[in-house]
A and B are shown apart, each in its own frame.
Chain A
Amino acid sequence: MSEAAHHPSLQHHFVDLEQQREAASLGMWVFIAQEVLFFGGLFASYAVYRHQYPAAFSAGSHHLSWRIGFANTLVLIGSSLTMAMAVHSAAVGKSRRAVGFLLATILLGSVFLGVKYFEYGEKIRPCFGDGPYSGCLVPGERFDASAVHLSGDEGRHSQIFFSLYFGMTGLHALHMIVGIPIILTVATLAWRGAYGPRYHTPVEMVGLYWHFVDIIWIFLFPLLYLIGAH
Chain B
Amino acid sequence: MSSEEAALPKEHYLSGGWDLKSWLLTTDHKRIGILYLVSITLMFALGSFYAALVRWNLLVPDGSHMSADTYNKAFTGHGVIMVFFFLIPSIPATLGNFLIPLMIGAKDLAFPRINLLSWYVYVIGGGITLYALLTGGLETGWTFYTPYSTVFAQSNVELAAVGIFVAGFSSILTGLNFIVTIHKMRAPGMTWFRMPLFVWAHYATAIIQVLGTPVIAITILLVALERIVHFGFFDPNRGGDPILFQHLFWFYSHPAVYIMILPSMGVISEIITCFSRKRIFGYSFIAMSSLAIAAIGFLVWAHHMFVTGMAVYSAMVFSALTYLVAVPSAIKTFNWTATLYRGSVQWDTPMIYVFCFIGLFLIGGLTGLFLGNLGTDVHLTDTYFVVAHFHYIMVGGAIMGYLGGLHFWWPKITGRKYVEAWGKVSSLLVFVGFNLTFFPQFVLGYLGMPRRYHVYPDEFQVLNVLSTAGATILGFGYLFPFSYLFHSIFRGQPAGNDPWHAKGLEWTTTSPPPTANFETVPVVTEEPYDYGEPPKGDGHV
Contacts and interface: CB of A to CB of B under 8 A. Distances in A.
Interface in A53-67: 53, 56
Given A22-B184, A30-B180, A34-B214, A45 B232 contact: no
A41 B248 contact: yes
Given A34-B176, A140-B230, A27 B111 contact: yes
A38 B169 CA distance: 11
A141 B237 CA distance: 12
Contacts of B16: none
A52 to B, nearest CB: 8
B240 A23 contact: no
Interface stretch (A1-9, A100-108, A110-118, A155-163): A155-163
A181 interface: no
Interface in B155-196: 172, 176-177, 179-180, 183-185
Q: How large is the interface on A (under 10, 10 to 19, 20 to 34, 35 or more residues)?
A: 35 or more
Contacts of A12: 107
B541 interface: no
A26 B108 CA distance: 17
Contacts of B212: 37
A167 B239 CA distance: 16
A38 B184 contact: no
Nearest to B239: A157
A31 interface: yes
A48 B244 contact: yes
B241 interface: yes
Nearest to B188: A15
A95 B426 CA distance: 63
Nearest to A44: B248
Contacts of A42: 218
Contacts of B111: 23, 27
B165 to A, nearest CB: 11
A33 interface: yes
Contact of A26 (B112, B184, B230): B184
Contacts of A38: 214-215, 217-218
Interface string A4-26: 00000000110000010011001
B10 interface: no
Interface in A113-148: 138-141
A162 B99 CA distance: 48
Label chain B's interface by main secondary structure: helix
B232 A23 contact: no
Interface in B192-244: 210-215, 217-219, 222, 225, 229-233, 237-241, 244
A141 B210 contact: no
Contact of B238 (A26, A39, A139): A139
Given A19-B184, A45-B248, A40 B108 contact: no
A150 B166 CA distance: 38
B238 A37 contact: no
Nearest to A30: B176
Contacts of A19: 184-185
Instruction: From A23, A52, A56, A140, name the one whose CB has the most chain B CB atoms within 10 angstroms.
Output: A23
Contacts of A45: 222, 233, 244, 248
Contacts of B345: none
Contacts of A141: 230
Interface string B233-269: 1000111110010011001000000000000000000
A27 B107 contact: no
A139 B232 contact: yes
B113 to A, nearest CB: 9
Contacts of B233: 45, 160, 163, 167
A159 B184 contact: no
Q: Is the interface of A mostly helix, strand, loop or mixed?
A: helix
B106 interface: yes
Contact of B231 (A35, A41, A157, A163): A163
A139 B211 contact: no
Given A41-B218, A156-B239, A140 B248 contact: no
Given A26-B179, A33-B210, A140 B106 contact: no
A56 B239 CA distance: 11
Interface residues of B, number: 41
B217 A31 contact: no
Interface in A167-205: 167, 171
A153 to B, nearest CB: 7
A204 to B, nearest CB: 15
A41 B212 CA distance: 10
Contact of B176 (A31, A44, A53): A31
A155 B247 CA distance: 25
A38 B210 CA distance: 10
A57 to B, nearest CB: 11
Contacts of A167: 222, 225, 231, 233
A23 B239 contact: no
A160 B233 CA distance: 6
Nearest to A27: B180
B481 to A, nearest CB: 32
A37 B214 contact: yes
Contacts of A44: 247-248
B248 to A, nearest CB: 5
B110 interface: yes
Given A37-B212, A41-B248, A13 B239 contact: no
A22 B232 CA distance: 44
Contact of A27 (B110, B112, B219, B222): B110
Contact of B232 (A35, A41, A159): A159
B183 A159 contact: no
B239 A41 contact: no
B171 to A, nearest CB: 10
A140 B111 CA distance: 44
Contacts of B180: 23, 26-27, 30
Contacts of A27: 110-111, 114, 176-177, 180
Contacts of A157: 239
Contacts of B106: 13
B308 to A, nearest CB: 14
Given A27-B110, A41-B248, A34 B211 contact: yes
A59 B377 CA distance: 42
Nearest to B106: A13
B37 to A, nearest CB: 22
A23 B184 contact: yes
Interface in B384-418: none
25 contacts: A12-B107, A30-B180, A31-B176, A41-B214, A41-B215, A41-B222, A41-B251, A45-B222, A49-B239, A49-B241, A52-B239, A52-B241, A56-B239, A139-B230, A139-B232, A140-B229, A140-B230, A156-B237, A156-B238, A160-B238, A160-B239, A166-B231, A167-B222, A167-B225, A167-B231
Given A52-B241, A159-B231, 20 more contacts: A13-B109, A13-B110, A22-B184, A23-B184, A27-B114, A34-B172, A34-B210, A34-B211, A34-B214, A38-B215, A44-B248, A45-B222, A48-B241, A53-B239, A138-B229, A139-B230, A139-B238, A156-B238, A159-B238, A167-B233
